[in-house]
Amino acid sequence: LPISLSLDNVSFLEQLEEMEKMFQEDHYPDNEKRREIAAMVGVTPQRILVWFQNRRAKWRKLEKLSMKGKRKDPTLSA
């Protein structure tokens, strides 16, 4: 079944996409940059701070999993 997106959902997805772009550019935006993002997205700078903290945690977890997969299994080498 197709999911109908309300305008709020579309707006949220656009905001999320924009924040993901910002994250790719800078994982640690300073206070001024967070205020700019907050104004652009329409939330408080505190929400932006928390979003970046959570996104960095997710990024570290994915990095750790990717490193684990790249490690050679010592039982396979002879």
Q: Which domains does the chain have, with CATH numbers?
A: 7-61 (1.10.10.60)
When pLDDT is averaged across residues 39-62 and rounded to a whole number, the result is: 95
Look at residue 78 in the predicted model and tell me its pLDDT.
47
Look at residue 3 in the predicted model and tell me its pLDDT.
60
When pLDDT is averaged across residues 44-57 and rounded to a whole number, the result is: 97
Confidence label for 57 from pLDDT (cuts 50, 70 and 90)? very high
Instruction: Report the distance separating Cα 71 and Cα 74, nearest Å.
Output: 9
What six digits make up the tokens of 61?
């977890």
What six digits make up the tokens of 4?
């109908």
What share of residues in the chain are helix, strand, coil (percent, to 5)? 70, 0, 30
Residue 7: pLDDT over 80: no
Confidence label for 41 from pLDDT (cuts 50, 70 and 90)? confident
In which residue are the tokens 């709020």 written? 8
Decide if 67 contacts 49 (C-beta within 8 A): no
